[in-house]
Amino acid sequence: MAQKIIAGVTVDVNEEGYFTNPAQWTKDLAVEVAKEEGIQLTDKHYAVLDFLRDRHSKGEALTIRSVGNSGIVDIKGFYGLFPGAPMKKAAKVAGIPKPASCV
């Protein structure tokens, strides 16, 4: 298992940089991971991150469609918040493993 230092904190990550222990995540770490992804977090970002972390903790499958149906943001808005690869980027910033739906 690899480790990475983010904002002075050592966290467990996989070879792609996704947290392997979501309990190590904090909002301060999310800010730093988001910066690495070229994203400046807003309240809307945090709402999506909280949604993803909650769903992940319940063992539910994470998909772009589920975010679009969350009532937080529509699919177009999700792409606007996390451009390029929204589910991959959002999962990384949320401190959860890359969803199985992501290639």
What is the DSSP secondary structure assignment for residue 3, as one 8-state letter?
Answer: E
Contacts for 25 with CB less than 8 Å, ≥ 6 apart? 11, 19, 53, 94, 95, 96
45, 81 Cβ separation under 8 angstroms: yes
Q: Give the active site residue among 31, 41, 64, 102.
A: 102
Catalytic, 62? Answer: no
Residues designated as active site: 102
